Amino acid sequence: MSKPEIVAIAPLPAFFAKPLHENFTVHDLHGAADAEARRALIAKIAPTTRGMVAFGGSQLAPDQLAKFPHLEIISVFGVGYDGMPLAACAEAKVKVTNTPDVLNDEVADTAVALTLMTCRQFVGAHKFVEAGDWLKGQYPLTHSLWGKTVGIIGLGRIGKGIAERLAAHKMSVAYFGRNKQDVTYTYYSNLVEMAGDVDVLIAITPGGAATKHLVNAAVLQALGPTGFFINVARGSVVDQDALVKAIEAGTIAGAGLDVFEAEPKVPEALFNRRNVVLLPHVASATHETRQAMADLAVENLALHFAGKPVKTLVPELAGKVSP
């Protein structure tokens, strides 16, 4: 019996590629040498390709989707799927799955670590020792977490994990979202108002058009010169130009960033600042978590081709395509 054919539009790490090749016939569109090679490969595989593998940061336009008329499922390796054309997928009855939950703890841990690193300037303190500056005097005082208030933009599963962890650090918790939830934390329907009332502002909301530049100059101005901004969401969630200006002008106290608008390109104006911590989008980047993500992405494909409901159909397609 022949294996179902799928196409990969993102680079496949070995731990993900191995089970895919074991269970499916995999066509590597991402590895095509140039645009002409991509067109030739699509023409060859489109009549028989039934599945697609993408990453959280992958971008697929409706016209690109249309080139695969027999596509049945897109399995996204990642939580974010804002690059997928959901309306076009719904119309074509193409399932889209992602890998939520398995990385919740990892991302929440990273958000807390980034908050500590930024507020306490641990990276700057490390460089201070390496440069031999400790021999000349003590490192400047930094800021505590305990007794402060954190405002979380997006109290989803990961947001709740961050809240629990920071509450254990004796921080008060507030959150901003579309709706008030049945939690004990303080709810804000106005982001500028929440930013004005908190000491640390953490973004963990989905990306996409609905949240583009949600954190803008007005929000940063409200956060103020004693407030810190942490982003473990998507680079698009913050107006990056406004953020750079806020750092340069001292409008906010500092920032800890795992994501950027044009990553891996990072504004050089943010380099070598004691009050800025920069990570290369590694919130979920551990062997254990990435393996769990790969397992779920493969499982969704296997369930679909076995005629069974997938595990994690994205919510926007519920009721629009078969589970």
Instruction: Find all residues with CB under 8 Å of 53, minimum gap 6, and list them.
Output: 6, 7, 8, 9, 10, 12, 20, 26, 74, 75, 77, 297, 301
Note the pLDDT of residue 55: 94
Positions annotated as catalytic residues are 234, 263, 281
What are the tens digits of pLDDT across the range 61-98? 999 999 999 999 999 999 989 899 999 999 999 999 99
What is the SS3 assignment for 35? Answer: helix
Task: Pull the structure tokens for residue 248.
Answer: 């340069």
**CATH number for the segment(s) 5-100+287-317:** 3.40.50.720
Residue 250: pLDDT band with limits 50, 70, 90: very high
Q: Read off the pLDDT of each residue in 250-272 and give the average, rounded to a whole number.
A: 97
Secondary element (H or E) of residue 247? helix 240-249
Of residues 227 and 56, more confidence is placed in: 227
Give span(s): CATH 3.40.50.720, the chain: 5-100+287-317, 104-278
Residue 1: pLDDT band with limits 50, 70, 90: low
80 Cα distance to chain centroid: 6
Q: Is the confidence at residue 57, as pLDDT, over 90?
A: no
CATH assignment of 104-278, among 3.20.20.70, 3.40.50.10310, 3.40.50.720, 3.90.1150.10: 3.40.50.720
Q: Which of 243, 234, 252, 283 is nearest to 112 (CA)?
A: 283
